[in-house]
Amino acid sequence: MEVRDSVGNLLADGDAVVLVKDLKVKGAGQTLKRGTMIRSIRLTGDPQEIDCRHDTIKGLVLRAEFVKKA
């Protein structure tokens, strides 16, 4: 399974990514701003979703179309 970011770069477990747009996080009442660095991603079974952890939000799942490899 290949997971690609918004630019087309191949993503792997442990990569660092940067958000390409502001995202409202459901349930957390918070907005992640464009340019936020997310470290140590994990790939899921879905080629369009990545599992990651932010300082204030645990169990965050992002769509690969909203991130680019750092």
What CATH number is given to the structural domain containing 18? 2.30.30.40
Q: Total domain count for the chain?
A: 1
State if pTM tops 0.85.
Answer: yes
Q: What is the pLDDT along the chain (70 residues), one digit of tens a residue?
A: 899 999 999 999 999 999 999 999 988 889 999 999 999 999 998 999 999 988 888 889 999 999 999 9
Per-residue confidence (pLDDT) for residue 44, from 0 to 100:
93
Contact 46, 40 (CB under 8 A): no
Per-residue confidence (pLDDT) for residue 57, from 0 to 100:
87
Residue whose structure tokens are 């630019």: 7
**Nearest to 52, CA basis, from 66, 65, 38:** 38
CA 65 to mean position of chain CA atoms: 9
Per-residue confidence (pLDDT) for residue 14, from 0 to 100:
95
Range of the domain at 26: 3-69
Query: For residue 66, what are the CA distances in angstroms to 42, 47?
Result: 15, 13
